[in-house]
Amino acid sequence: MNAAAVPLAVPDRPVNGVALTIVIILFVLVAVLGFFAARWRREETTGLHSLDEWGLGGRSFGTWVTWFLLGGDLYTAYTFVAVPAAMWATGAVSGFFAVPYTIVLYPIVFLLMSRLWSVSHRHGFVTPADFVGGRYGSRALTLAVAVTGIVATMPYIALQLVGIKAVLTVLGLGSAENVLLTDLPLIIAFVVLAAYTYMSGLRAPALIAVVKDLLIYLAVIVAVIYLPIKFGGWGTIFDSAEAKLAAVNPATGKPVGVFIPGATSYSAYWTLALGSALALFMYPHSITGVLATKSRNTIRRNAAVLPLYSLLLGFLALLGYAAIYAGTKPVDLNGSVNPQLVVPQLFLDHFPAWFAGIALAAIAIGALVPAAIMSIAAANLFTRNIYRDLIKPDATPRQEAGVSKVASLVVKFGALIFVIAMDQSAAINMQLLGGIWILQTFPAIVAGLYTRWFHRWALFIGWAAGIAYGTIAAYNVVNPVTKAHFGGSIAAIPGTDVQVYIAVVAFAINLVIAAALSLLFRAIKLPDGQDITRTSDYGADENDPKVAQIQRKYPLAGPGTPTF
Amino acid sequence: MSSPDVPTRGPARPGPYVISGILLLAAIVVPLFVPAYSIDKPRLYGIPYFYWYQMAWIPVTAALVGISYWLVTREDRRRRESVRGEAGAGEEQ
């Protein structure tokens, strides 16, 4: 049978030929760029045969590349699809909190990340768990941080696929009857992504991010200027959104959504923003972006210029309301309403096909950048903190890079199977839990940047308590309509009826236990781990010698100890 | 311990750190104080106050972080130069 003759779409959703062609052309362009990236700023003597080169792009990215890389890494395709979707479906509390979230993020990044950069630069740390291992000398705590990072990242990668899927569905690729055909374009896209990530490492997403970000800025700026003019101004758009969100949902007897939060939603709104901001730079893929920078101050400079992306995200969120006014119908292949199709559908409905193609390509390519970085970050965690620490302590840099490359493939195909085989809501639930879990590594990583006051076992038990509480609390949130568990990330503080983000309560429990047990463990003189870092390490810059160099200069100081 | 603690920076002056700390704290706390902005009017180009106020905080935060960057890196450079100056003098002897 001739494969080309098989119709890729059922008649209910026609293929948009022009838009699809643009998407395919841009995708091919980006793939070529991804393979070319292997030769970009290449270290000629060693090639890509070390984690510093393959997994951190040679630790050489300056302000501009970092701006594009972190912009593509933090503001993922899923964000661009899910935030307007949440605005469209339930309004401000679940959607617009992304704006204060990405505002308060940057002062926090400014405060924390240059210290992490300095100590990692000195000691050659590649992952946050490397740092925790070096600081606390605790295998258990290192492993806890590494495993949390990997487990939280996996569903995040899967959600990037959900973003691509939304674009493909709107383009008319896919059918309700034939699952394999529906997923074929997704599989092809992912195999290509896996291939150039394997070849080029972090250089691939760094180069692709430039193209992707320019496309997405173009798409959103045009949409934000053109659509309000077409629809008769922002006033009418907001009025129609207010009317829709105030309507009463017959299943719950409550309004569908929140247009402007009332006093009962204040705590949910700000804890969601703060908790998410604290958690974001605990994700391994964010830290990978930070450690790939050239100097201590690159990340600080970026903290001042990255907010431009927050502005983009804010306007994109408002497009969710524009879709309410426009009456956009996000109907999925099986006929159900899928809010995640709202923004792709909006572009397709109201723009010429070629421009819609550019916007949809920007979203689809936007999924490839974070997916690549996340898989690299998870692979680095596996290589450094499981393979090297537990299996092969004397692994050479070349072996580490080899293991990491293969691990990045495994991680990506795991995410692919996740999305194809399981229900989409499973990935969303896991991502929700991932956000709660990753915040529980905050005390170990961040407190360690400033002080050794916390005891390693206190931090470990605090982490475990935070994870346990967060998981149970999230399980107990029941969706009022579908009666399914993991119905949201908001729950009352135990013993009160103040609604807050679960991760923040779990974090507070974690911190209190870690502090109390630190006092206890110090009082009973439980052995503390070895700390290989020095005060001076936390202020080191690119021109300061690395620890390996200092040891060469002062050989009498004794043999160096690796992470443990 | 495997290596001597070679200082990378000289002692800090508190001024720049205190000022930038206050600026950064303001950039975290003020946008999270929801009661200040959970209202509809006044609207700007039809956009309710709740929405445009928060969007307006994005450039404000960028500016606050930018000022902090300027303050802290200037002090950082001074601290590095002070310790390099001493080290250089030590090597000549």
pLDDT digits (tens, 9 = 90+) for A202-237: 988 988 999 888 998 999 999 989 999 999 889 899
Q: Do B76 and A297 touch (CB under 8 A)?
A: yes
Q: Do A111 and B61 touch (CB under 8 A)?
A: no
Distance from CA of B56 to the nearest CA of A (A): 9
Q: Which 8-state DSSP code applies to residue A492?
A: E
Residue B92 has pLDDT above 60, yes or no: no
Q: Which residues of B touch A233 (CB under 8 A)?
A: 45-46
Assess B5–A contact: CB distance below 8 Å, yes or no: yes
Q: What is the dihedral of CA A190, A191, A196, A199, to 10 degrees?
A: 140
Annotate B53-84 with three-state secondary structure. HHHHHHHHHHHHHHHHHHHHHHHHHHHHHHHH
Q: What pLDDT, on the 0 to 100 scale, is given for residue A177?
A: 62
Q: What pLDDT, on the 0 to 100 scale, is given for residue B2?
A: 46
Q: What pLDDT, on the 0 to 100 scale, is given for residue A555?
A: 45
Of B34, B43, B51, the CB nearest to A270: B34
Q: Which residues of chain A have pLDDT under 70?
A: 1-13, 43-46, 174-181, 548-564
Most B CBs within 10 A among A67, A93, A110, hence the mutation to make, goes to A110
Of A92, A102, A558, the CB nearest to B2: A558
Most B CBs within 10 A among A534, A541, A550, hence the mutation to make, goes to A534
Of B33, B50, B57, the CB nearest to A103: B57
B window 74-93, beta carbon within 8 A of A: 76, 79-80
Q: Using CB atoms within 10 A of its CB, is residue A14 exposed (0-12), middle (13-18) or buried (19+)? A: exposed
Is residue A480 helix, strand or coil? coil
Is residue A218 helix, strand or coil? helix
Q: What pLDDT, on the 0 to 100 scale, is given for residue A460?
A: 95
Contact A412, A164 (CB under 8 A): no
Q: Count Cα neighbours of A41 within 13 Å in the Cβ-side half-sphere.
A: 17
Q: Do B8 and A541 touch (CB under 8 A)?
A: yes
Residue B21 has pLDDT above 70, yes or no: yes
The percentage of residues in chain B with a pLDDT greater than 90, rounded to a whole number, is 49
Q: In whole angstroms, what is the distance from residue A240 CA to residue A259 CA? A: 11
Locate the domains of chain B by residue range: 34-80
Q: Do A261 and B34 touch (CB under 8 A)?
A: yes
The percentage of residues in chain B with a pLDDT greater than 70, rounded to a whole number, is 85
Q: What pLDDT, on the 0 to 100 scale, is given for residue A55?
A: 85
CATH number of the A17-431 domain:
1.20.1730.10
Which residue type does A484 have? A
Q: What pLDDT, on the 0 to 100 scale, is given for residue A44?
A: 64
Q: Which residues of A touch B50 (CB under 8 A)?
A: 92, 260-261
Please give the residue that has the higher pLDDT: either B56 or A57.
B56
Distance from CA of A30 to the nearest CA of B (A): 31
Q: Do A550 and B4 touch (CB under 8 A)?
A: yes
Contact B44, A234 (CB under 8 A): no
Q: Which residue of A has its CA nearest to B33?
A: A270
Of B2, B8, B58, the CB nearest to A310: B58
Q: What pLDDT, on the 0 to 100 scale, is given for residue A176?
A: 61
Host H or E run for residue A428: helix A424-439
Q: Which residues of A touch B11 (CB under 8 A)?
A: none
Q: Do B69 and A304 touch (CB under 8 A)?
A: yes
Locate the domains of chain A by residue range: 17-431
Q: What pLDDT, on the 0 to 100 scale, is given for residue A506?
A: 95
**Hey, what are B55's tokens?**
């969007």
Q: What pLDDT, on the 0 to 100 scale, is given for residue A186?
A: 83
Residue B85 has pLDDT above 80, yes or no: no
